[in-house]
Structure 1
Amino acid sequence: MPRFSRKGTTKVFFLEDIAAESLIPTRAELTDATALSPQLAAVEGFQLTNNEIETPDMEHTFDSKIPGSDSVSDSSMTFYEDEDAATLEEALAKGTTGFVVFLRKGDVPTSKSMDVFPVRVASQSSEYTVENESAKWQVVFSVISQPVLGAAVPAAGTP
């Protein structure tokens, strides 16, 4: 099984809107999306987890569990700050709703490696440091509904 690094492969986008109820963007919507990858320094969260329910009983010494509700871990992204432009800061302003789209294996049409997270920007803040490093800022996202995981990347030339 060939392995790969997400760095240099995975593409991340922000879309203001997705027309389809399935929440799967078209190629045109992806093309018009705001590319986050070039300024992305770190990603936290964006992982679907299940909150299992314990179901112990008096008959057994083993405490079984059943699947409970799903949730997404606290999610944030840290970006390198652009000294001249504020394009990403404007696109990801506090209160903005939209979709964070990950193409996990890169932009490989028909690969079932696209994850779509419906989000609202909860906060946006600068990071301050006296260390010898590039200026950064962070966005905290609230995932507001069920994400779509493992969708097919739209083929090139499809509407």
Structure 2
Amino acid sequence: MAITQKRFMRRGVTKFFFLPKVTATPPVPSRTELTTATELSEAISDIEGWALENAAIDTPDMGSKFTTSIDGEDKADSSSFTFYEDQVDDSLERLLSKGVEGFVVILRKGDIPGGKSMDTFPVRVGSRSASYTAAAEPAKFKVSFVITDQPVLDSPVPAAAVPGP
């Protein structure tokens, strides 16, 4: 059986949001929460991390020269966004100040209601620092996040709001 794919480039499709709070447990945001969230997508110049890794545990035994392994603990990579800096508005820096807790929500395939491509990461801002360079490039700052709890991956994107009468 052949696999048929509609491939895409993440830039311009994937959406990134920051929410101070998600009411559901496990933390899967509703459409209302997504609508009131701060969308970060247009301010992001670079992304690092935002993946869950498993640390395998070796299980050697005396019956073989081959070392087998079992799955071990899950851990989120160090994760960060590098943002373009605004010369007059500091609302993004205030939103993502050191110590702020909330949720980074990533719609990997875009805002496609029902698509199982929403990842929610409980986070705390570990650091925020300006990037300095003498090169001819835009001013930027980097926000590093600590993943504070297990992320919820592959959730369905909530249905779009139904227009009222």
TM-score, structure 1 as length reference: 0.98
Q: 1:76 aligns with which of 77, 80, 88?
A: 80
Which residue does the alignment assign to 1:129? Answer: 133
- SS of alignment partner, residue 89 of structure 1: helix
Q: In structure 2, what residue type is equivalent to 1:43?
A: I
Gaps of 5+ in 1: none
Question: Given the alignment, which residue of 117, 120, 123 partners 1:119?
Answer: 123
C-alpha deviation, 1:97, in angstroms: 0.4
TM-score, with structure 2 as normaliser: 0.94
Match of 1:109 in 2: 113
Give the counterpart letter for 1:156 in structure 2. A
The match for 2:153 is 149
Mapped partners of 2:24, 2:76: distance in 1: 22
**Aligned residue pair count:** 158
Classify the secondary structure of the residue corresponding to 2:9.
coil
Q: Tell me by how many angstroms 1:71 deviates.
A: 0.2
User: Which residue of the partner structure matches residue 53 of structure 2?
Assistant: 49
Secondary structure at the counterpart of residue 68 of structure 1: coil
C-alpha separation between the residues in 2 aligned to 1:3 and 1:90?
Answer: 36
Matches of 2:79 and 2:121 in 1, distance apart? 10
Q: Which residue of 1 aligns with 2:17?
A: 13
In structure 2, runs of 5+ residues without a counterpart are none
CA–CA distance in structure 2, aligned partners of residues 67 and 14 of structure 1: 31
Structure with the larger strand share: 1
Amino acid across the alignment from 1:17: K
Poorly superposed stretches of 4+, deviation over 4 Å: none
Q: Alignment identity in percent?
A: 51
Instruction: Report the Cα offset of residue 22 of structure 1.
Output: 1.6
Question: How much has 1:132 moved relative to structure 2?
Answer: 0.3
1:39 aligns with 2:32: no
Q: Is 1:139–2:143 an aligned residue pair?
A: yes
Summarize deviations over 1:71-96 as a string: whole Å, max 9, x none: 01111110000111011101100000
Separation (CA, whole Å) in 2 of partners of 1:22 and 1:121: 20
